[in-house]
Amino acid sequence: MPLMEAAQIAERFDVGIMSTKGLSVTAARRLLDELSASPYLKRVVVLHDFDVYAFSIFGTLFNDTRRYAFENEVPVVDLGLRLSDVEALELDPEPYEVSDW
């Protein structure tokens, strides 16, 4: 957020910024759902890392779950990192351990 505030992204591009900082809460999903029914929401642009947590967060943010079922289609634009981005940018991997179930 400090970088987005310093660059004045919201003011320069007339956008709202939302962060779930982890798995999205029902309130965030409901907000996006209800805004999607209005003529004011054109698209929801999502930035995320290339890791298992990011894909999980992205998946729960826009898909029905046991806790929340969407009534409207949310217009999503996924700007998250992909494997091709990671390779092109030569990003270092982050450690991740799969625990036994």
Q: Is residue 8 part of a domain?
A: no
Flag whether 22 is in a domain. yes
pLDDT at 23 over 70: yes
Number of H helices, E strands in the chain: 5, 2
The pTM (predicted TM-score) of the whole model is 0.74
Task: Provide the number of structural domains found in the chain.
Answer: 1
Average pLDDT over residues 58-69: 88
Q: Are 74 and 32 in contact (CB under 8 A)?
A: yes
pLDDT for the residue 61: 86
pLDDT above 70 as % of the chain: 98
In a domain, 66, yes or no: yes
The SS3 of residue 19 is coil
Domain that includes residue 67, residue range: 14-89
CA distance 30 to 84: 32
Mean pLDDT along residues 40-50? 89
Q: How confident is the model at residue 17 (pLDDT cuts 50, 70, 90)?
A: confident
Contacts with 31 (C-beta within 8 Å, 6 or more apart), sequence order: 18
The residue assigned the tokens 């494997």 is 83
72: in domain: yes
